[in-house]
Structure 1
Amino acid sequence: YIPTPIYFGAVIDTTCMLWQQDCGFHGSCWEYDVTSLRFVYFGLAASLKFLGFLFIFLTWYSLKRLEEQTHTHTHSHTLSPLDT
C-alpha cells in the first residue's frame, strides 16, 4: 500500500512560494512555482510508474525462474532410465 495522495501533496507543497499566514500557522498555498511544480509532479509520477514496473518485472522474473526449476526438476525424475 502506497499512500500516493500523501506523496503528491507533499511534492506539491514543496513548490509553494507564498503561504497563507493565519495566527502563526501556515494555511493553504497562494502561489506556486509552476515550472518546478511541473517537473516535480511529472518526476514523481514517472518514478512511481517505474517503481511499479520494476516490481512487476522482478515478480515475473522470479516466477519464470521458479517455473523453470520446477519443470527441470520434474523432468529429471520422470525421464530416468529403468532398472532391470
Structure 2
Amino acid sequence: MNISLPDALKTYVDEQVIQRGYGTSSEYVRELIRNDQDRSRLREMLLVGGASEPAGVADPAYFDGLRAKVRKPGKTGTRG
C-alpha cells in the first residue's frame, strides 16, 4: 500500500518518526491505525454499555466488592 501525502503532512510524519523514535514512517502509521482500532472498539463497547440495562447500584458496597476481587490472593492483575 502506498499513501501520498502533501508536503506539510509528510514533514509532520517525518518529524514524528524522529521525535518518537520510530524506525520508519510505516511504523508510525501502523501505530496510528492500531490506536484508531482501539478507539473504535472502546467506542463500540461504550455504546453497547450505554444501551444496556443497569446491572445494579454502583454504591460504596459495589466498589468495595470490586476491590476485594482485585485483592484476592493469586491474582496478578495482568492479562496474558
The TM-score with structure 2 as length reference comes to 0.43
The TM-score with structure 1 as length reference comes to 0.41
Greater relative CO (CA pairs within 8 A, separation 6+)? 1
Indicate the structure with greater strand content.
Answer: 1
